Amino acid sequence: MIGITGANGFIGRAVLRRIGADACVAHVGPIDGEAGAIDICDQPALEALFAGIGTIIHLAGPSSVAASFDAPAAFARAHVLGTATLLAAAERIGVRRFVHVSSAEVYGRPDTACVSESAPLLPLSPYGAAKAAAEQLVSGAVRRGALGSAIIVRPFSVYGPGMRANGLVGRLAAQARLRQPMRVFSADTTRDYVHVDDLARGLLMAAARDEPGLLTLNIASGIGTDVAALAATFARIGGGSDALIVEEQGDRSRALDIAHLVADVSLARETLGWRAEITLADGVRDCLGEMA
């Protein structure tokens, strides 16, 4: 059985869809039909919940880069203190495998066209910094023998049904459905988009890997797509206007935006046999279908 934190989040729900009832879940907000939640910083509660669990997938915590500038302490509590608490609980109850879901935000502004797992961690946002610190906690737990096996997964730009409506992909999907012009804050910002179902599959493959030590993997498509091309794909598939309107936004998170972030995904192929299967066009259809 697999234990999952953050099971009611965007990625957590995708993982649960794949494994059904064969999971023990902990979450920082209530799951539909349940009355409450466990605090990720409550070690006794985590130990009680996950007792007898051999593998944990750790997804809990807020994920908005922009919001992290307004609430850096809350992000640090969830990702740093929360991860430290979960690792302590995992050690006490004898968890064998630990899959830690980090973020490509830990790279900051890499100086290569495709960033590999060996690139330095130079985060810009409080969210990215908290994720980088959490990675160090996982790494330390493996080095001192508290964990026998851990995989750190760095997803790139995750999208799909159930995503935040106020994110770029969510906004483009809504505009395409309404046949509106595509309004964006930048046309040439390039990201590596990975469908949430591809990511969920990768996380479960990581959870099934029974090799000792620490492994860090990028999970992404390996293909860069700029905002203009993404907007054009939504407009074409949604049957709406292909007009692109670039709007100014001067907040500090926008000023610290990363212009180009694309993954080298060769290590995930070599170690897990994983590769992205859902094309961007099919993923866009999936997003638009959810809103139909």
**Which of 196, 85, 192, 195 minimizes the C-alpha distance to 138?**
85
Higher pLDDT among residues 23 and 266, named by residue: 266
Helix (H) or strand (E) holding 284: helix 280-290
Q: How far apart are CA 157 and CA 191, in angstroms?
A: 7
Instruction: Categorize the per-residue pLDDT at 35 as very low, low, confident or very high, splitting at 50, 70 and 90.
Output: very low
Q: Are 76 and 132 contacting, i.e. CB atoms less than 8 angstroms apart?
A: no
Domain that holds residue 72: 2-290
Catalytic residues: 127
Would the CA dihedral through 26, 29, 32, 36 be positive or negative?
positive
Q: How far apart are CA 24 and CA 217, in angstroms?
A: 24
For 40, residues 6+ apart whose C-beta sits below 8 A from its C-beta are: 5, 26, 28, 46, 60, 61, 78, 82, 85, 86
pTM score of the predicted model: 0.94
CATH of residue 285:
3.40.50.720
| Phi (first) and psi of residue 185, to 5 degrees | -100, -15
Q: Is the pLDDT of residue 45 over 60?
A: yes
Q: Are 50 and 2 contacting, i.e. CB atoms less than 8 angstroms apart?
A: no
Tens of pLDDT, residues 149-183? 999 999 999 999 999 888 999 999 999 999 999 99
Q: Are 257 and 186 contacting, i.e. CB atoms less than 8 angstroms apart?
A: yes
Q: In whole angstroms, what separates CA 281 from the centre of its chain?
A: 20
Tens of pLDDT, residues 205-230? 999 998 999 999 999 999 999 999 99
Q: Are 193 and 225 contacting, i.e. CB atoms less than 8 angstroms apart?
A: yes
Would the CA dihedral through 130, 133, 135, 141 be positive or negative?
negative
**What is the total count of domains within the chain?**
1
Tens of pLDDT, residues 254-288? 567 799 999 999 999 999 999 999 999 999 999 99
Within 10 Å of residue 109's Cβ, how many Cβ atoms?
Answer: 14
